[in-house]
Amino acid sequence: MKKTTKDMWIALRTCCTSRLALEAAIFSVLAVMTAFSAAMVKEAHQMPALASMATFGPDNTTALITPVAGVERVLPQEMAPEAELPAAEIVTPTPAEAVRAERMIEQATTHTRWFNGRPIRPARVLWMQVTAYSPDARSCGKFADGITATLHSVETNGGNLVAADTRLFPFGTLFSIEGYADGNVVPVMDRGGAIKGHHLDLLMPTHRQAIRWGNQRMPVILWEYADGKPLDDPRKFR
């Protein structure tokens, strides 16, 4: 049967509509794949950090361990034991540094602290390289999307959080750093390719504040939950 002009027009319109629907479906699939890939990159700790690129001499790289006197500490299983660190990274603190660490522990144990509704206590003092970064492109480059490696916003915990080497300090590890967040306990919620070993990178609101912090070797307190339960994994709470 010979098709009329109207029949041909209907067939053409149907074909175009089907093609548009197909293109829309392909676009949706690609968008989902792109978002998934971005999330995987975040999880793979590829986010760089600004001040962490600065060099830090071998004499200033690592940690003094100061346990709380009279209290037996059992670190979470996912926390790498100190004995597994390279011998070159172990630095003997000066007498003044040892005294400072003891005073920090004494002050931290004057009252019970809480985090996420759970009681916490100081486990030890670590001497670490502490740098800072900001959530903008000058620190994070193409990953400056306001999302941490745990896929939480950089505004989580009031913007007070740190990046660490999660092979040693897994997500959810708690620290307090003198001069940061008013000395309050902050979680590890980020990481970066340049954050290795005993190195913390503090999130600052602006690039200027990150630069002002600089690169410091200083004591920080590592905290643990006093209820004996494992760390909270922030990737499970988003």
Q: State residue 57's pLDDT score.
A: 32
Helix (H, G, I), strand (E, B) or coil at 200: strand
Altogether, the residues listed in the chain come to a count of 238
Q: State residue 95's pLDDT score.
A: 83
Q: Of 48, 44, 85, which is closest to residue 235 (Cα–Cα)?
A: 44
Give me the phi and psi of 19, to 5 degrees please. Answer: -65, -40
Question: Which tokens belong to 227?
Answer: 């209820």
Q: State residue 70's pLDDT score.
A: 37
Structural domain boundaries in the chain: 1-43, 48-236
Q: State residue 94's pLDDT score.
A: 79
**Dist CA 11 CA 5 (whole Å):** 10
Helix (H, G, I), strand (E, B) or coil at 211: helix
Q: Which one-letter DSSP state was computed for residue 147?
A: B
Q: State residue 24's pLDDT score.
A: 57
Residue-wise pLDDT tens for the chain (238 aa)? 555 655 655 555 555 555 655 565 555 545 545 444 444 444 444 444 433 333 333 333 333 333 333 333 333 334 444 434 443 344 567 788 778 878 888 888 777 899 999 999 999 999 899 999 999 998 998 889 999 999 999 999 999 999 999 999 999 999 999 999 999 999 999 998 889 999 999 999 999 999 999 999 999 999 999 999 999 999 887 6
Q: For the chain, what is the radius of gyration of the CA atoms?
A: 25
Q: Which one-letter DSSP state was computed for residue 7?
A: H
Q: State residue 130's pLDDT score.
A: 96
Buried-state track 104-126, b at ≥16 Cβ within 10 A, e below 16: bbeebeeeebebeeeebbbbbbb
Q: Which one-letter DSSP state was computed for residue 148?
A: -
Query: Given this structure, which CATH class describes domain 48-236?
Result: mainly beta
Strand 199-203 to 113-115 pairing: unpaired
**Dist CA 139 CA 151 (whole Å):** 17
Q: State residue 193's pLDDT score.
A: 87
**Dist CA 16 CA 19 (whole Å):** 5
